[in-house]
Every structure is written in structure tokens, then in C-alpha cells.
Amino acid sequence: MRHMKIGELGERANVSTKTIRYYEDVGLLEAPARTASGYRDYDEPAVERLRFIRDAQASGLSLAEIASVLELKATGERSCQHTTALLERHLVEIDEQIERLQAARTQLAELAARAQSLNPADCTDPNRCQVIG
């Protein structure tokens, strides 16, 4: 099996060495064996695990959620149903966020349109802007 140091692992998985150390600290990546000179000595499965973690984060999963998927995999269980539920929950959250953003956009557009009809000379309150109030 091919072995590599942390820098090569980071390059191959497209993550920083700081990230790799953090993932080890929080248990997402198993601490590797060490060489006689004390260097971390990673194998090919570490590359695949890091790529999975990176891809899962890109899909919106938190590190805790990723850990829950990896825990299922570690016990030999299938994780697809669990992962699907996590992704569906994130979809609902994103849809709710989009609704809030659309409502905020509507309100801002109304304020901007209102501002066009106001006379700046009428804005005399030292504590408020007439556009907002």
C-alpha cells in the first residue's frame, strides 16, 4: 500500500494540512501511524475519506452530520437513508431561507421605490432618514 506524508495527502485531497490535523482532532479522520522520524504516515483510504468529507461539506452537511454518516459506515450499516434525510432537511432549511430573503428583498424594493418619490429637502429629522421611516 502506498504511503504519504501530510503535505501530499493534502494536495491529493485538495485540503490544507491544518484541516487534516483538525479532522484528526475531532475524530473525522483516524490518526495515522507515524514514521520512525515522527512524520504522519497516511495511506490511500485517507485520501478517499478526506475527499468524501470535502464533498459532503460542499453539499451542505455539517461536520457533525458527516461524522454521523461515517459512524454508520464504520459499523457496517448502510448510510443512504440517513444521508438522504439530512439532505432533505437542508433543502427545507434552504427553501425557508429563500422565502425569508425574498420577503426582505420585497421590503427593500418597496423602500427603494418610496425613496424615489421623496424630496431630500424634507429630510430634517436629525435622528431618522425619511427613506426608512
pLDDT digits (tens, 9 = 90+) for 51-107: 999 999 999 999 999 999 999 999 999 999 999 999 999 999 999 999 999 999 999
CA distances to 56, 59, 91 from 98, in Å: 22, 17, 10
If you search the block for the grid coordinates 490544507, which residue do you land on? 16
Dihedral pair phi/psi, residue 123, rounded to 5° = -85, 90
Segment 21-48 shows an average pLDDT of: 92
Q: Which CATH architecture has domain 1-77?
A: Orthogonal Bundle (1.10)
State what percent of residues in the chain have pLDDT above 90.
80
